Amino acid sequence: MDFYLICTILIVLAAIFGYVNVRFLKLPNTIGLMIITLLFTLAAVGLSHFNDALLEAEKELINSINFEKVLLDGMLSFLLFAGALHTNFEQLKVQRGPVLAFATIGVLTSTFLVGGALYLILMLLGIPVDFIYCLLFGALISPTDPIAVLGILKKAGAPKQLETKIVGESLFNDGVGVVIFLTLFQIAGSTEPVTALDVLKLFGIEVIGGVVLGLVIGYITYKLLKSIDDYDIEVIITLAAVMGGTVIAQQLHTSAPLAMVTAGLLVGNDTSRKNTMSHLTETYVDKFWELLDILLNTILFVLIGMELLILTFEVTAIVAGLIAIPVVLACRYIALLLPIAYFSKKLNFVPRTNAIMTWGGLRGGISIALALSLTAEMHRDLFLIITYIIVVFSIIVQGLTVGTVIKKFGLNTASDKEIQ
């Protein structure tokens, strides 16, 4: 299939499924689209016993798309920039300590906890897998997905300070998680011994380099926006910043996700907006990125639902995936304990912060994309099934109930003023 046809099919399906969700199911778009796409895919499998035309067409579409490349090298930069652009910078600045701790210490701790636990689980199930490959799984499943989190939390009614922690963490831990994954991937695939210095060098180039690049791109964008007053060109400048910045990050081997989050926060904060954008420009920039965010989100979750077709299900892998769901949640809870205990003494944390952050930390397309990048030697099929089961549970079950959990703890926005 050619590029235009693939895009057309995905957008048409996203529009149809989105309409069905808004008209009948009335679920958050991310959840509704995934459920409808999964049902559509299962229906295609069922109909294939009578006529396999629909199933074969869907398989051809999925096989024509490199999900890993499309998400990690394309869509992710746009989605993260859009998310950062609309993040409350003042709230994030107040919560910067815990947010950075969650995104670094939390992800690293979770990676090793999940990797160690899964290694034991697979041993008990009679599936011998090297520990380094289990650590790779820990790295790909530990980051929470900002794309899933941003859309669902808006409707969940979380207190603003708690929402800032979860959203801020998800924006940054995505880039950190990818860097940890790439570091472990290099160690696992290298025939030469990898030293601690090599790891620190790679980590430094990816993380520090990504943040510095984001600051440079954000500053240049800020200066360009400040020097003119033309909303058409200013919208195009923000788009060019993301596209050009992503290409530069890839060429420099720095983290494009971290660069785009940094640039988005720099361009989107209140001070920058007042100095660079007229009210009309601000409206157009916000609406453009909101629309692009919604469009890419709908396409992404349709793709996640369709990825079901590429999986080769085995009983032991399904059992491992089901066992891994509570294990991953428990490891996230433990990984957040130390940062929360430290910062809760300095900042006013809402009650049950750890429980809500654990249940509200959704996994999504990034985890699937990283699992797809594994090689056959790294047990790609096994980890892909486990990842898919966790992601589907996370988005559908956790996503549908996070609002209920927040209300059960008496922490919905109605009580937000009392908490603050």
Q: Residue 42: pLDDT above 80?
A: yes
User: Whole domain around residue 397: which residue ranges?
Assistant: 69-419
Same domain, 57 and 114: no
* pTM of the model as a whole: 0.92
Whole-angstrom Cα distance, residue 147 to residue 414?
25
Task: Please name which of 244, 243, 300, 294 lies closest in space to residue 65, comparing C-alpha atoms.
Answer: 300
Task: Please name which of 316, 387, 391, 329 lies closest in space to residue 357, comparing C-alpha atoms.
Answer: 329
Chosen domain end from 63, 85, 115: 63
Whole-angstrom Cα distance, residue 151 to residue 27?
11
The string of pLDDT tens digits covering residues 165-210 is: 888 898 888 888 988 998 899 888 877 777 778 888 888 889 999 9
Which range (54-68, 164-178, 210-224, 405-419) has the least confidence?
405-419
The string of pLDDT tens digits covering residues 122-158 is: 999 999 999 999 999 999 999 998 766 766 766 666 7
Type of residue found at 102: F
Same domain, 15 and 89: no
Whole-angstrom Cα distance, residue 314 to residue 322?
12
Same domain, 42 and 162: no
Q: Which class for 212: exposed (0-12), middle (13-18), buried (19 or more C-beta within 10 A)?
A: middle
pLDDT of residue 101: 94
Chosen domain end from 41, 63, 85: 63
Whole-angstrom Cα distance, residue 237 to residue 180?
32
Same domain, 219 and 317: yes
Same domain, 112 and 75: yes
Same domain, 109 and 250: yes
CATH for 99? 1.20.1530.20
pLDDT > 90 in the chain, percent? 68
How many domains does the chain divide into?
2
Q: Residue 417: pLDDT above 50?
A: no
pLDDT of residue 155: 67
Same domain, 29 and 134: no
